[in-house]
Amino acid sequence: MKYFLGIDSSTTATKALLIDEVGTVVSVGRSHYSFETPHPLWSEQSPDLWWDGAVSAIGSAFGAGGISPSDVVGIGLTGQMHGLVMLDGDGNVLRDAILWNDQRTQAECDEIRDRVGRNRLIQITGNDALTGFTAPKILWVRNHEPDVYDQTRHVLLPKDFVRLRLTGEYATDKAGGSGTILFDLAARDWSDEVVGALGIDHSWLPKTFEGSAVTGGVSAEASQATGIPAGVPVFGGAGDQAANAVGVGAVVPGLLAMSIGTSGVVFGSTDHPAVEPEGRLHAFCHAVPDMWHLMGVMLSAAGSYKWLREALAPHASFAELDQLASTVEAGSEGLIFLPYLSGERTPHPDPLARGAFVGLTVRHTLAHMARAVLEGVAFGLRDSVDLMREAGAVGEIRASGGGSSSPLWVQIISDVSGVPISVVGTSEGAAHGAAMLAAVGAGAFSDCAQAAAGAVKIDRVVEPSADQSTYEGAHGTFKSLYPALKDSFHTLAEPG
């Protein structure tokens, strides 16, 4: 039996997942670590954590599956997007990586809009300049750490640092590269216009590859560290959300992937480089060759439910909160929750947005508040689904992530969105997708659609219920609240 390895370098852990030749998950290994917040708005991490985590997780996956490293014939990579790793000419790390959730670069985002033009930037890259992306981080280092900038010769994304340590090659995938906002979305490669306007040295940027293309082979040094034979091909892979879409089967137009984790992501595949004119949806290249995707992101999905539990019911389990919420009828008796506890990205790119309960009365209890949180997150996810509808048809939604384990929550999301929800039977969609891309590249499947048909398992399908009509009106009220409260949110966020 031959096996394919997917490695997912996330913000808090590295996962290594092994699948067999038909795409069945055989074993998973994990290695956990932390990140640093040395100043307000900053988020940084040592790149060495990703490589050490990968070596540890790979060993755990082999041990858990009872598999010999010599049976691995392909490796796919995925991980957190938008981070910045800066290296000198010898490949040495010059500073800790600046992560996707770092918020220090607002001035640099303004600088990018001034240099390129906001509308032109969206037209070329598919995105407005936001603090999470890689390009403003590069400008921040130039503006604030010129000694580091002057030594820089290579710029990589987090998972591509793992690729460098595995293969010795400087490379990235098309999906990850497009998340830097230095990409020409339609051309699926670096934009000479944007890179030139920002004054970034083009030679720093790695070669780009499709997700199922070979980017190099395991080096002798990496073979010694992992046990995987030297020369085993390492494929392009993808950023975490594009890889997750492959892992849940969202590889054709009209089929959405919805990840209900700490944050919430709605991902829609397209067969052309569609761009939301106002930049309210992110537009990136897909891991699937000649495919693109639109993506909506809300910053606090399951994170909102976690906050409610920790703040108001620390001794209750999530299942017990679900049970309480199920005793309340749809609409929570007029109580609405705005899930902007960490600011928001889609459809309101506003770091100063705030959470709120609106409509509280003496009749409302913890049960009402729990249901209102579930509904408020569902309303926020629907905002992204509606933007997807404007760009094209929406059929089935494939749900994954911790929140998808709640039958009540999935039903509410189906009712609010008006779309059937298929719950996928994998908890590691990104690592699974990376392994599937390796399997496609190695010829075990003819393409990603065939891989998804064989490897993706659906646990259950949830259809909209009669509550759909109740939620239609409540969602309209929800949408009116952010514009009404925006100025107050900004006033409350001002220091002092």
Q: Active-site residue numbers?
A: 240
Residue 489 CA, chain-centre distance (Å), reads: 26
Q: Residue 416: what residue type?
A: V
Q: How far apart are CA 112 and CA 119, in angstroms?
A: 11
Which residue from 340, 465, 444, 489 is spatially nearest to 3, judged by alpha carbons?
444
Residue 199 CA, chain-centre distance (Å), reads: 28
Q: Calculate the alpha carbon distances from 358 to 125, 264, 355 in Å.
A: 37, 22, 10
216: left (phi over 0), alpha (psi -120 to 50) or beta: left
Spell out where 169-232 has E strands: 171-173, 183-184, 189-190, 207-209, 214-217
Q: How far apart are CA 363 and CA 443, in angstroms?
A: 61
Q: Calculate the alpha carbon distances from 426 to 211, 245, 250, 439, 459 in Å.
A: 20, 12, 14, 17, 9
Give the other-Cβ count within 10 Å of 200's Cβ.
Answer: 19
Give the chain's radius of gyration (CA, Å).
22
Q: Which residues pair with 18 in a beta bridge?
A: 5, 27
Q: Which two tokens mark 410?
A: 């999935």
- The crossing angle, in degrees rounded to 10, of helices 366-391 and 302-312 is 170
Omega within 30 of 0 (cis) for the link into 347: yes
Give the other-Cβ count within 10 Å of 435's Cβ.
Answer: 36
| Three-state secondary-structure class, residue 493 | helix
